[in-house]
Chain A
Amino acid sequence: MSHSTTADPLEELKQTNTGIENKKLAMWAFLASDCMFFGTLISTHLIYRRVYADVVDPTQIFDIELTGISSFVLLASSFSMALAVSSAHKGNMLLTRLALSATIFGGLVFLGGQVYEFSHFVHEKGLTLDGNIFGSSFYLLTGTHGTHVAIGVLWLISHLVHTFTPGHGRQNALDIESTGLYWHFVDIVWIVIFTAVYLVEYLHF
C-alpha cells in the first residue's frame, strides 16, 4: 500500500492492514482449505476402515516400526525447517542452505519409506488400490499426503538452488517462510494420519 518508511524490505512487506504479509496470509488461507481436503479424506478412511474387518487385518499388513521411524524423521525435519526460516531471516545463507538440505533429506527419507511401504504392501501383503475398500481409502489418503510431501521437497530444492543465484538474499526469507508454513502443516497432518490410520488399528476394545 503505502511506500516504505523503513529500509528493511522484509518489514516493508508487513505494512498491510493486518500487519501480516500478503504471501503469508494467502498461505494461511490455503492451509485452512487444505485442512478440509485432508478432513474429507480422513473421514472417508475412518468410515471404510472396518467394512471388511474380518477379511483385512491391518496389523498383519502394517510395518509399524518402519512407518514409526520414517514418521519420526519427517517430524524432526520440522525442526530443520524452522532453523532454515530463522537463519534466512537473519541473512545467514550458509546455515539456511544446510538447514534446507537437512529438511529435504528428511522429506526424502519419508518418501523413500512410503515407496518401500507401498510396494511391500502390494507385492508381499496383497493390499491393492482396487482389491478392497480398505486399500482404496488407505492408498488415496496416504498417497495424497505423500504427494504433498513430494511437492514440498520439490519446493525446498527450488529454494536451495535459488540461494545460489545472484540477487538472492535476505529479502527472499518470506518465500522460505511460506514454504515453512506449508511444511509444518504437512507434518502436523501426518500426526493425525499416523494416529487415525496406523496406531488406531493396534487398539483392541
Chain B
Amino acid sequence: MASTQSPDTLSHPQPGSGHDEPKHTGIWKRPLKPDGLVGWLTTVDHKKIGIAYAIAALFFFLIGGVEALLIRVQLFRPEQELISAELYNRLFTMHGTTMIFLAVMPLSTAFFNYIMPLQIGARDVAFPRLNALGLWTFILGGILVNLSWIFPGSAPGIGWFGYAPLTGREFSPDIGTDFWVLGLQILGIASLVGSFNFITTILNMRAPGLSMMRLPLFTWMTLITSFLIILAFPAITIALVELMFDRHFGTMFFDVLGGGKPILWQHLFWVFGHPEVYILILPAMGIISEVLPVFSRKPLFGYPLVVFSGAVIGFLGFAVWSHHMFTTGLGVVATSAFAFLTMLISIPTGVKIFNWIGTMWGGRITFTTPMLFAVGFIWMFMIGGFTGIMHSSPPVDSQQQDTYFVVAHFHYVLIGGSIFALFAGLYYWFPKVSGRMLNETWGKLVFYTMFVGFNMAFFPMHILGMTGMPRRTHTYQTELGLNGPNMWSTIGAFLLGFGVLLFIVQLIYSAKKGKPAGRDPWDARTLEWVTDSPPKFYNFAYTPVVHARDQFFESKHGQAERKMEKLAPDAHGIHMPDQSWWPLILGFGLFIAAFGMVLLGQPREAFPLIGGLLPEGEFSIWNVCVPGLALTLFAAYGWAYEGPGGYHVHPTPAEVQDDEIGTVLQPGSDPQVDHGPSSQQQP
C-alpha cells in the first residue's frame, strides 16, 4: 500500500476502520487486526489468500521435486541399491500425489484467487470466508498426506492412482494408505468450495459492461476449470469413501473375494482423473492466452474460438476416461468409441495452438521471461500432445502402456505444459503482486536452465519407453541397453532442479530488493493492471465500467469513445468483508476428524503422543474422529451466527479522478454499457 501518493493521509483508508457499529452476534467478535500473524490466519482478502496458496504450493513443489530427484538418483546407473524397492514405491507415489494435488492445482488456484477478481473488476470473491476455508483445508490436507512419512508404516506405496486391490487392507496394511485416502478427501473439499466460489464470482460479480465475451481468457479458463472440478471431484471422493469403508468397516467394494470389482476403482478414478488432466492444463492455457497478446502487442487471435475450444475440451474431457484403461479389455465397441473421442479432443487443442501462433504472427514480439516460458510452453506442450495422439490408438497404446513412453508423455504435458505456463504466470504477475520487477537476466538464466534440463531429463524417456523400460520399477539390468538414456535423464533432472532453485532465490531476492514495477510495467491489456502494484486491499477505488475487450489497452491506445469509465463509490463508501477465525477452526475440525479416521483401529500404544492419554487398546471412532466432527459442527454454527459483518472504506478523492485512461461517473448514475461483441482494436 506504499504507492498512494495522496498527501491526505488522515483520511487514508485502513482495513478495519470505518466500522459502522460494532455488531457482535456470534460467539466472539470478529478479528480486526489487518496484518501480522492474526491478520494472515483470519484473512478473507483474496489477494492474501492467493499469496498463501502460492507459497504453500511452491513449498510442496520443492518437496515433490526432491522426491523426483531421489528417484532419478536411484536410476542413474543400472542395478543400484541406494533406495530399496519399497521406498522407491513410496517415493513415486508421493511424488505424483504431491505434484498433482499439492503443487500444480493449488498454484493454479493461487492465480484464480489473486488475478481473477482483479480481472473482472471485483473487490473480492463472492464468499470471502469460504475462500479462506479452501486455503486452510488445502494446507491441512497437504500436511495430512505428507504426515504419513513420519508415522510407523511410512508413506503409501500404491501409486498416485491407487489401483485396487493393492490399496486394500490385505495388501497395504499400513496407515500410510489411510493418510492418502483421508488427505485426498480433505483436498477435495478445498477444491470444491473454491470452485463454487469462483463460479459464483465470475457469473455474478463482473464489472458493468464486462460481458462474458469480453472476459479475459484467464478468467474464462478459471470458470471452465471450476465447472470441471465440481463435476469431476465427486467421482474420486466417492471412490475414496468406498475404499475407506473397505479398509475400516469391512465392506467389499473393491474386494474380489467378496464380489467387488477392482475395475470399478479404475473407472471411478479415471472419470475423475481425465477431467483432472484438463483441470491441470486449462488454467495454464488461460495464462498463455494472457501473456502472448501482451508481448506480441496484438489482441488474442480468434478470441471466441479460443474460448469455445476451451469449453469443448472441458466437455469432451468427461467422455474419454477409458483411454487410460485400453489394456483392461473393455471390448471392441467401447475401445473404439473412447479412441475416437480421444482423437476428437486433439481438434480443439490444435485450434488453441494455431490461435496462439496467429496471435504472435506479425506482432511486435519482445522476448521477456514470461514470453519465453509461454513460447516454450507451446512447443513443449505440442510434443506432449503428439505423443498423446499416439496413445489414443489402442494398438499403439497397448505397446506403450506402463512404459517410460507414458512417463515422457505426461511430463511433457505437465512440466513443459502446466509448469512452464505457471512459471510464465509467476514472471508475468509477480510485479503486480509484489510491486517489484524480477530481473530479466536472471529470468532468462532460469528459463534456459529449466528448458535444457527438462528436455534432457524427459526426452530420453521416449527412447527408454520404446526400448521397453517399464515404469515404477526401482532398477534395471546392465545389459538391457537402458544405461545411457537413464544417465542423461538424471543429469537433466538435476539441471531442471537447479533451475527451480535459481528461481526460488530470484523470487525471494526480488520480493525485497527488486526495482519498483509501477502499476503497468508490461503495457498490458486487462483490468488487473489498472490498479496499483500491489493493489490496495479494496482493489479499485471505483467500479470500472467496461466498453471493450482488453479494456485497459483500449483506454491507453484506443479511440476516445471506448475509454473506460470510473463509477465513483456513493456516500456509503466501499463495502468490505470482515476477517474471521471460523474458516481456520472449521478446517482444523475436518483435519482432526480425518486424522481420527486414519487412527481408527490402530493400537493406542503405537501413537504415544495421542494414545498415551487413553487406556491401552485400539483407537475407536469416539477418540479423535467424533471430536473433530463436533469441532467442525461447532465452527459451522460459529460461522453462521457470526453474521455477514463488513465495513465501509472511503477512498481519497485523489484516487477517483479523471485521467488518461478514463473519466469519472458520479455515484448513483446508471452506467451506459453496450453488451455487443467487441470489435478488434488497432494495435
Give me the interface of A with B, judged by CB distance under 8 Å: 1-3, 16-18, 20, 22, 25-26, 29-30, 32-34, 36-37, 39-41, 44, 47-48, 51-52, 129-130, 132-133, 136-137, 140, 158, 167
Which chain A positions have C-beta within 8 A of B260? 48, 133, 136
Which residues of A sit under 8 angstroms from B249, Cβ to Cβ? 129-130
Q: Is the CB–CB distance between A17 and B231 below 8 Å? A: no
Known contacts A1-B205, A37-B237, A44-B253; can you find 8 more A-B pairs with CB under 8 A?
Answer: A16-B204, A17-B206, A18-B203, A25-B204, A26-B127, A36-B231, A40-B239, A44-B268
A25 contact set on B, CB distance < 8 A: 126, 199-200, 203-204
List of A residues within 8 angstroms of B122 by Cβ:
1
Q: What's the Cα separation between A40 and B543 when bound, in Å? A: 43
As a 0/1 sequence over residues 553 to 571 of chain B, the CB contacts with chain A under 8 angstroms (1 = contact) are 0000000000000010010
Contact status of A36 and B235, CB under 8 A, knowing A29-B196, A29-B230: yes
B237-290 with Cβ < 8 A to chain A: 237-239, 241-242, 245, 249-253, 258-261, 264, 268, 271
Could you say which of A16, A17, A33, A47 contacts B230, with CB atoms under 8 Å apart?
A33
The chain B residue with its CB closest to the CB of A143 is B245
Least CB distance, A51 to chain B, in whole angstroms: 4
Are A22 and B259 CB-contacts (below 8 A) given A29-B196, A130-B250, A137-B253?
A: no
Give 5 A-B contacts (CB < 8 Å), ordered by A residue: A17-B203, A22-B200, A29-B200, A36-B232, A129-B251
Contact of A136 among B192, B195, B251 (CB under 8 A): B251
Whole-angstrom distance between the Cβ of B469 and the nearest chain A Cβ: 36
Given the interface pairs A22-B126, A140-B242, the reply to whether A17 lies near B204 with Cβ below 8 Å is: yes
Tell whether B572 is near chain A: CB-to-CB under 8 Å.
yes
| Residues of chain A with a CB closer than 8 A to B192's CB | 33
> Is B410 an interface residue when CB atoms closer than 8 A count as contact?
no
Residue interface bits B177-207, CB-to-A below 8 A is 1, else 0: 0000000000000001001110110011111
**How many angstroms between the C-alpha atoms of A201 and B680 in the bound complex?**
61
Residue with the greatest number of chain B CB neighbours at <10 A, chosen from A1, A32, A129, A133: A1
**Alpha-carbon gap, A16 to B203, bound state (A):** 8
Please state if B203 and A52 are interface contacts (CB–CB under 8 Å): no
Instruction: Give the distance to chain B from A103, nearest Cβ to Cβ, in Å.
Output: 19
Q: State A33–B232 Cα separation when bound (angstroms).
A: 8
A44 touches B127 (CB 8 A): no
Contact A2 B567 (CB under 8 A): yes
Q: Which B residues touch A17, using CB under 8 A?
A: 203-206
* Chain A CB within 8 A of B234 CB: yes
Residue B581 lies at the interface, judged by CB distance under 8 Å to chain A? no
Asked if B640 lies at the interface with its beta carbon under 8 angstroms from chain A, I say yes
Who on chain B is nearest to A19 by CB?
A: B204
- B233 touches A (CB below 8 Å): yes
Known: A40-B268, A136-B245. A26 touches B234 (CB 8 A): no
Quick one: CB contact mask for B515-532 with A, threshold 8 Å, 1 for yes? 000000000000000000
How far, in whole Å, are A158 and B199 apart by their CA atoms in the complex? Answer: 27
B635-664 vs A, CB cutoff 8 Å, 1 = contact: the mask equals 001001000000000000000000000000
Whether the Cβ atoms of B238 and A132 lie closer than 8 Å is: no
- Measured in the bound complex, the distance between the Cα atoms of B260 and A140 in whole Å is 14
Taken together as a complex, chains A and B put the C-alpha atoms of A82 and B242 apart, in Å, by 34
In contact, A132 and B199 (Cβ under 8 angstroms): no
- The one of A1, A30, A133, A140 that contacts B258, using a Cβ cutoff of 8 Å: A133
Residues of chain A within 8 A of B250, CB atoms compared = 129-130
- Indicate if the CB atoms of A47 and B204 lie closer than 8 Å: no
C-alpha gap A51/B126 in the complex (Å): 47
Partner of B234, one of A29, A37, A158: A37
Q: Given the complex, which residues of B lie within 8 Å of A167, measured CB to CB?
A: 25
Q: How many Å lie between the Cα of A41 and that of B205 in the bound state?
A: 34
Instruction: Report the minimal beta-carbon distance from A191 to chain B, rounded to whole angstroms.
Output: 19
The one of A2, A20, A40 in contact with B235, judged by C-beta atoms closer than 8 angstroms, is A40
Output the least CB separation between B91 and chain A (Å): 31
Q: Choose among B199, B200, B233, B261 the residue that contacts A47 (Cβ–Cβ < 8 A).
A: B261
A44 touches B543 (CB 8 A): no
For A30, A32, A36, A39, the residue with the greatest tally of chain B CB atoms inside 10 Å of its CB is A36
Contact with A along B342-377 (1 / 0, CB 8 A): 000000000000000000000000000000000000
Q: Bound state CA distance, A133 and B234, in angstroms?
A: 21
For window 122-138 of B, CB contacts with A under 8 Å fall at 122, 126-127
CA distance in complex: A25, B227 (Å): 13
Q: Which residues of A contact B206 (CB under 8 A)?
A: 17
Tell me the complex Cα distance, A162–B591, Å.
29
Cα A176 to Cα B199 in complex, Å, equals: 22
Cβ-neighbour of A2 out of B196, B252, B271, B543 (below 8 A): B543
Contact A26 B200 (CB under 8 A): yes
Closest residue of chain B to A24 (Cβ to Cβ) is B200
Top 7 nearest A-B pairs by Cβ distance?
A130-B250, A36-B234, A136-B251, A16-B204, A40-B238, A33-B230, A51-B259
Q: Determine which of B199, B237, B238, B637 lies in contact with A29 in the assembled complex, contact meaning CB atoms within 8 Å.
A: B199
